[in-house]
Amino acid sequence: MRHAIPAALAVAAMALPAAAQERPELTAYAPDYFASDWGPGPRIEAGFEAACNCDLVFVTGDVLPRLLLEGESTRADVVIGLNTDQTARARATGLFAPHRQDTAALTMPVAWTDDIFLPFNWSELAFVYDETRLATPPESFAALLDAPDTLKIALQDPRSSSAGLAMLLWVKHIYGDGAEAAWAKLAPKVLTVTRGWSEAYGLFTDGEVDMVLSYTTSPAYHVIAEGDTTKHAAIFPEGHYLYTELAAQLAGSDQPELAQAFMDYILSPDFQGMIAEANWSYPAKLPPEDLPQAFRDLPRPATTLFYSEAEAEALRQPALDEWLRAFTR
Amino acid sequence: MAARLHALRPSPGAAVAGGLAALILGTLGAVAWEARGLSGLTQWDLRAVWFTLWQAAVSATLSVALAIPVARALARRRFPARGALVLLLGAPFILPTIVAIFGLVAMFGRSGWINAGLAALGLPEISIYGAQGVVLANLFFNLPLATRLILQAWQSVPAERFRLAASLGFGPRDIARHLERPLLREVAPGAWLAVFLICLTSFTVALALGGGPRATTVELAIYQAFRFDADPGRAASLGLVQVALSLAALALAGRAAAPAGFGAGLDREAPGPAPPGWRGWADAAVILLAAGFLLGPVGAVIGSGLPRIGSLPETVWAATARSVGMALTSTALTIALALPLALALARGRRLWIEAAGMLPLVASPLVLGTGLFLILSHAVPVSGLAIPVTIAVNAIMALPFALRALIPASRTLEADYGRLAASLGLAGAARLRLLTLPRLRGPLGFGAGLAAALAMGDLGVIALFGDTRTATLPLMLYQLMGSYRLADAAGAAVLLMGLSLGLFWLFDRGGRA
């Protein structure tokens, strides 16, 4: 109960002179999973603090909604763990400063030119299956749509999950104006739509569904952490939609040097080398030969699909309406 | 006259009710203010309102209808381990939603026990995905609550009334007419209302088992408005719709309820008459069915999680200790708020106080959390707020349940002993010590147990305010699930469930001893 100080005491503590503070503090807003003991947070904290002579503090929660609420008065120096569907609104706040990194050196399947939001890891959306339960998975997106309705899949809701929203864009990218018809074909195979990734993935590991919307890198977790080689991502020739997570620094930070040092640290070999096994995705800047073996063995899609921020923002609402219509008709 | 005089004097109860109303409506207002006003609703929002109402009404009606035979069977039969069964039947209510869903899926899912049994018999498969799944899950969560509320009322009928009935030669039909019907008339509308209001704000349930966007609830629409549309105005509009719906339900339930008026007894511990013959078999069947339905999924959760408890990481235990401390603090707060409210309500039917006491049930946790964040972040640094705010919000969220447990008993207390106490000039602290606390000991223990269990299991607003140093056990559970560690999450779920039930048992037991 060390932190259970009443609010009044917290105010009093603020009013005291900052004599007790030896090291400057860098505040990073991050999603819950990111800073948990099982996410990359603790290792990033240890790695960065080893060099910066500072205290890196993760503040967890919904990063963007919180920033929007706080506006100029935010305490955040940096944010980490934004999704591409959030960058347009984040950029519009004008709260961010350029990251000043060379994005030409990134090892991503798409060219990245954004000077504010810096990717630190990436993967693609994919349907994950267990070969012991589904011996012959669909070999293309078209085959998935044409599969018998007894093939059951679990999705995430685009209204509450970033992966669910990326799935809308994936279908839109492949089928364009035919997206609603594609969804109508997929709908009978959708056993259920969950709030977030965890629930859907849990239904998959419990054997409720044959395939689950997850990432091309998910099987690497099962290989490395569980020695289980039966889980695979079905690779479709139509291409897979990119899912990347981003970091940025705040223009109004009271620790601008530290914030910049953190942005530099993100693309350092130290950070990039640990991200594969800490966040179960591809590092944004690491030669493939430096990846863990299980990641090097993963099958790669021939095509990676991606919409620019402006395109995705324009498509979001129409694609959501199509999705809702396809499921409620 | 007397009631009117009471109403004129500001009581602690009215002050608490006013504070609650200000908090719930104030947070809504803060969100609307931030958005510079309310925004209009889309056609999808209106569909969500309709589905939310539908599933809440069906779930509440079924929960209460099924709880009546279960409560009656439990009230009039005595069998070995009855107390333990009554305790365990309460488990689903305090299970974290996400854990309960996996329990339900293990029993009713495509690869669950029921379908395995049906397949062995050559029968067609049943599906829990769809509207029926939402209702089934709501029933699983709320049948225990409805059963406990009705059972409590049943057990509060003085044994003398049943003895009088026996000496008058009442058969089961006469007992139903003269004792059970008035009893249900008093308690059932309140139980229905509580379940209806809980289902009104259900979010994860509908989303996981609903089978798709047809099963969209208002709370999901609120989440979408915040998270994806950055439209707090729409979130506030939807929050208002939720509050309006619940006030309408409250008025309806208030009309339907009527006091039973059984009068005081001598507190003799005696069950009601247990009719022999087929009714005995029927009671046994009802108890077995309810136990199977409620304990099957709980058993599945325990089975998958128990072996993992030993290997849980150390930080989980630190979070566990923090969670227990927070749950106890928030329980004390709940009772301190609920008691004056219940006593104020007992002295006269003042709908606005009851409405204020029930408001936390329908306050969207998202709106409440965000509103508090907006209000408080202007005054104090948010980092120190995570734990105090979570404690306060959990205490307020548990208030309606403690209140539901206390209201009938407080009314009976006032009706049976109010005039005697007044004629003796018993007032203030002496009345509290000599009359109120001893007479309300049972419902106070039950209410405190519920508050502790709910505070223990609730994710609360810590997700909005927290940092890595303030993680609670439920938050750890979600973090484990979010990083592929589903087996460890199952272990944490069993730990959480065991602690919630343990706290509930301690308080409830303390109230009865």
Mutation target to probe the A interface, by most A beta carbons within 10 A, among B209, B219, B228 is B228
- Cα B41 to Cα B95: distance, rounded to the nearest angstrom: 33
* In contact, A194 and A203? CB cutoff 8 Å: yes
Contact between A192 and B101 using a beta-carbon 8 Å cutoff: no
Contact between B478 and A32 using a beta-carbon 8 Å cutoff: yes
Closest by CA position to B16, among listed B402, B408, B444: B402
- Cα A30 to Cα A35: distance, rounded to the nearest angstrom: 7
Please check whether residue A79 touches B, CB under 8 A: no
Conformation bin of residue B404: beta by default, left when phi > 0, alpha when psi is -120 to 50 = alpha
Average pLDDT, chain A: 90
Pull the structure tokens for residue B220.
């999901």
For the structural domain made of A123-242+299-327, what CATH number should be given?
3.40.190.10
Condensed to tens digits (0 to 9), the pLDDT of residues A246-285 reads: 999 999 999 999 999 999 999 999 999 999 999 999 999 9
- Cα B197 to Cα B183: distance, rounded to the nearest angstrom: 22
Nearest-by-CA chain B residue for A10: B384
b/e per residue, A146-165, with b = 16+ CB within 10 A?
ebeeebbbbbbbbbbbbbbb
Comparing CB atoms, the residue among A62, A192, A225 nearest residue B210 is A192
- Separation in Å, CA of B418 to nearest CA in chain A: 39
Mutation target to probe the B interface, by most B beta carbons within 10 A, among A21, A49, A66, A69 is A69
Please check whether residue A174 touches B, CB under 8 A: no
Please check whether residue A75 touches B, CB under 8 A: yes
Return phi, psi of residue A302, to 5°: -70, -30
Nearest-by-CA chain B residue for A152: B110
User: pLDDT 10s per residue in chain B (513 long)?
Assistant: 444 444 445 577 788 888 888 888 888 888 888 777 777 788 888 888 899 999 999 999 999 999 999 999 998 888 888 888 888 888 888 777 777 888 899 899 998 999 999 999 998 888 889 888 889 999 999 999 899 888 888 877 777 777 787 788 788 788 778 778 888 888 888 889 888 988 887 766 666 788 788 888 888 888 788 777 777 788 888 888 888 888 888 788 777 666 666 666 656 556 666 777 888 899 999 999 999 999 999 999 899 889 888 888 888 898 899 999 999 999 999 999 999 888 888 877 677 887 888 888 777 777 787 788 778 777 666 666 777 878 888 888 888 888 888 887 888 888 888 888 888 888 778 787 788 888 888 889 988 998 998 888 776 566 666 666 677 888 888 888 888 888 888 899 899 988 988 998 899 888 776
Please check whether residue A177 touches B, CB under 8 A: no
Closest by CA position to B166, among listed B17, B57, B270, B28: B270
- Separation in Å, CA of A75 to nearest CA in chain B: 9
Closest by CA position to B397, among listed B343, B340, B354, B337: B337
* In contact, A299 and A124? CB cutoff 8 Å: no
- Cα A264 to Cα A107: distance, rounded to the nearest angstrom: 16
- Cα B219 to Cα B206: distance, rounded to the nearest angstrom: 10
Mean pLDDT of A38-63: 89
Predicted confidence at residue A18, as pLDDT, reads 42
Please check whether residue A308 touches B, CB under 8 A: no
For the structural domain made of A7-122+243-291, what CATH number should be given?
3.40.190.10
Domains, chain B: 12-38+306-513 (1.10.3720.10)
Percentage above 90 pLDDT, chain A: 75
* In contact, B35 and B231? CB cutoff 8 Å: yes
Interface contacts (A, B; CB < 8 Å): 196
Comparing CB atoms, the residue among A7, A160, A165 nearest residue B220 is A160
* Site of tokens 């920033």: A67
Conformation bin of residue B167: beta by default, left when phi > 0, alpha when psi is -120 to 50 = alpha
* Contacts (Cβ under 8 Å, ≥6 apart) of A226: none
Nearest-by-CA chain B residue for A325: B213
Contact between B230 and A68 using a beta-carbon 8 Å cutoff: yes
Contact between B47 and A68 using a beta-carbon 8 Å cutoff: no
Predicted confidence at residue A9, as pLDDT, reads 36
Q: Is A139 helix (H, G, I), strand (E, B) or coil?
A: coil
Predicted confidence at residue B2, as pLDDT, reads 46
- Cα A113 to Cα B488: distance, rounded to the nearest angstrom: 40
Contact between B380 and A323 using a beta-carbon 8 Å cutoff: no
Contacts with B388 from chain A: Cβ below 8 Å: 4-7
Pull the structure tokens for residue B110.
């495509």
Q: Which stretch of DSSP H or E encloses residue B183? A: helix B181-200
b/e per residue, B250-284, with b = 16+ CB within 10 A?
beebeeebeebebeebeeeeeebbeeeeeeeeebe
Residue boundaries of the structural domains of chain A:
7-122+243-291, 123-242+299-327
Strand partners, B485: none
* Contacts (Cβ under 8 Å, ≥6 apart) of B506: B449
Contact between B207 and A193 using a beta-carbon 8 Å cutoff: yes
Contacts with A192 from chain B: Cβ below 8 Å: 129, 133, 208-212
Contacts with B377 from chain A: Cβ below 8 Å: 69-70, 73
- Asked whether the predicted pLDDT for residue A23 surpasses 70, the reply is yes
- Cα B231 to Cα B235: distance, rounded to the nearest angstrom: 7
Q: Is A124 helix (H, G, I), strand (E, B) or coil?
A: strand
Strand partners, A129: A211, A232
Strand extents, DSSP E, B85-237: none
Nearest-by-CA chain B residue for A11: B380
Contacts with A36 from chain B: Cβ below 8 Å: 468, 471, 476, 479-480, 482-483
Predicted confidence at residue B271, as pLDDT, reads 63
- Cα A319 to Cα A325: distance, rounded to the nearest angstrom: 10
Residues of A (44-63) whose Cβ lies below 8 Å from B: 57-62
Contact between A10 and B98 using a beta-carbon 8 Å cutoff: no
Please check whether residue A3 touches B, CB under 8 A: yes
* Contacts (Cβ under 8 Å, ≥6 apart) of A196: A156, A160, A161, B482
- Cα A268 to Cα A286: distance, rounded to the nearest angstrom: 9
Among the listed ranges A34-48, A64-78, A309-323, B424-438, which one has the minimum average pLDDT value? B424-438
Nearest-by-CA chain A residue for B463: A61
Q: Is B496 helix (H, G, I), strand (E, B) or coil?
A: helix
b/e per residue, B71-109, with b = 16+ CB within 10 A?
bbbbbbbeeeeeeebbbbbbbbbbbbbbbbbbbbbbbbb
Contacts with A198 from chain B: Cβ below 8 Å: 98, 478, 481-482, 486
Contacts with B367 from chain A: Cβ below 8 Å: none
